[in-house]
Structure 1
Amino acid sequence: MRLSKPRIAPLEMSELNEDQKAIVAPIAERGPVLNIFMTMARDPAAAKAFLAWGNYILSRKNGLPAREREIVILRIGYLCKSGYEFTQHTRIGLQSGLTEDEIERIKRGADAGWSEADAVLIRACDDLNRNHFVSDAVWAELGRFYDDKQKMDLVYTVGQYTQVSMLLNSFGVQLDKGQTLDPELKGY
């Protein structure tokens, strides 16, 4: 984690005003409300807009299958050194069909024993993280495995989770109770 304590503390349920309750209520129906959402609830208008786009990215409307989407999210979380993001999506990645070995290899990059289709997703993440642009060679390689909608959704997903990582890192959102930080992300 980049910060050992929050710069912007998550709200407690007892502190929520009516607008904040409206943001948090649908999340609370599914279980405990994570620190990211209790922090974002401080600005209900921004949280509402942010969550609408985020819900698209995590939905079946996203052309990337869940497993491939999680490869992208985890790679960006790792590249952005977002301990919170990488921790949350490790759990989601496992639920979406990734193995623990694959999650470990996401940190190593495209040449860590991936299929061609998975490796090019990681290369595209690396291009976007480094240059904010997918190179012609990687774009052409993506086209061997993914259609135009999927390639668009790849870029949208990288953009969304780069933003998520920036806010998590900058706001100092801390891990939720019972979570353990990946040792490679300590001190970032």
Structure 2
Amino acid sequence: MHLPHPRIAPLSDAELSPEQREALAPASYPGTPPLNIFRTLAHAPDALKAFLAWGTYILRNNSLTPRQREIVILRTGYLCRSGYEWTQHVRISLRGGMSEDEIAAIKAGANAPLWQPADAALLAACDELHANQFVSTETWAKLKAHFTDKQCMDAVFTAGQYTQVSMMLNTFGVQLDEGQKLDPDLDKRKAPSP
């Protein structure tokens, strides 16, 4: 997390226009207020609608297993230093059965000793996409040893989506939702200079 305060504040229920309320509806669940990311993106309701549609594909309909998807999301969020994204997806990953050791190893990357070759290939691909916006021939061959063409595409789609999400979260200054704690490794907040 880079900023101590939002640059674009999340909209409260009272501030929502009818169009913003409609765009936010798919991200609202009974008994749970919409997350700050969605309340922030509601400033651009058409963008929020498109974002939610693509996000639904990435989170629910892509061909990676939930664990594989979360490896890609967490590594991408970590590389982008997105404290908000990391915090949200650590919770999702733990609920999905990933261990604390696996989550810690995501920070270390593909060379951490606990990874199986398929996991290491996903992590290496994330690193290359982050650094070069390209997966090398060597790493692509490692992916192809474990994944179909569609799964390889979905890994790239997922890393790309969460790079964009991280850029938005970091730049807009989206703050953690109530009750969440920021990983100190991702706390880049500094008080503004006088």
Would you say same fold, with TM above 0.5? yes
Amino acid at match of 2:33: P
Q: Is 1:49 paired with 2:47? A: no
Partner in structure 2 of residue 168 of structure 1? 169
C-alpha displacement at 1:186, in angstroms? Answer: 1.2
Partner in structure 2 of residue 86 of structure 1? 86
C-alpha displacement at 1:187, in angstroms? Answer: 1.5
Amino acid at match of 1:123: A
Cα deviation digits, residues 114-166 of structure 1 (max 9, x gap): 11110110000001000000000000010110000000000000100000000
C-alpha displacement at 1:29, in angstroms? Answer: 2.5
SS at match of 1:160: helix
TM-score, normalised to structure 2, is 0.94
Amino acid at match of 1:96: G
Partner in structure 2 of residue 184 of structure 1? 185
Amino acid at match of 1:139: W
CA distance in 2, matches of 1:72, 1:122: 7
Partner in structure 2 of residue 11 of structure 1? 11
Q: Is the Cα–Cα contact under 8 Å of residues 24 and 48 in structure 2 kept in the other structure?
A: no
CA distance in 2, matches of 1:125, 1:29: 31
CA distance in 2, matches of 1:96, 1:58: 13
- The farther-off stretch of 117-126 and 29-38 is 29-38
Amino acid at match of 1:46: A
Amino acid at match of 1:138: T
C-alpha displacement at 1:26, in angstroms? Answer: 2.5
Taking the TM superposition and a 5 Å limit, the aligned residue runs for 1:2-151 are 2-30=2-30, 31-59=32-60, 61-113=61-113, 114-151=115-152
- Identical columns (%): 59
CA distance in 1, matches of 2:28, 2:153: 31
TM-score, normalised to structure 1, is 0.97
Amino acid at match of 2:91: R
CA distance in 2, matches of 1:32, 1:108: 34
Output the aligned Cα RMSD: 0.9
Gaps of 5+ in 2: 190-194
Q: Is the Cα–Cα contact under 8 Å of residues 84 and 173 in structure 1 kept in the other structure?
A: yes
CA distance in 2, matches of 1:163, 1:134: 18
CA distance in 1, matches of 2:9, 2:29: 22
- The farther-off stretch of 132-141 and 96-105 is 96-105
- The farther-off stretch of 88-97 and 148-157 is 88-97
Amino acid at match of 1:184: D
Aligned residues: 187
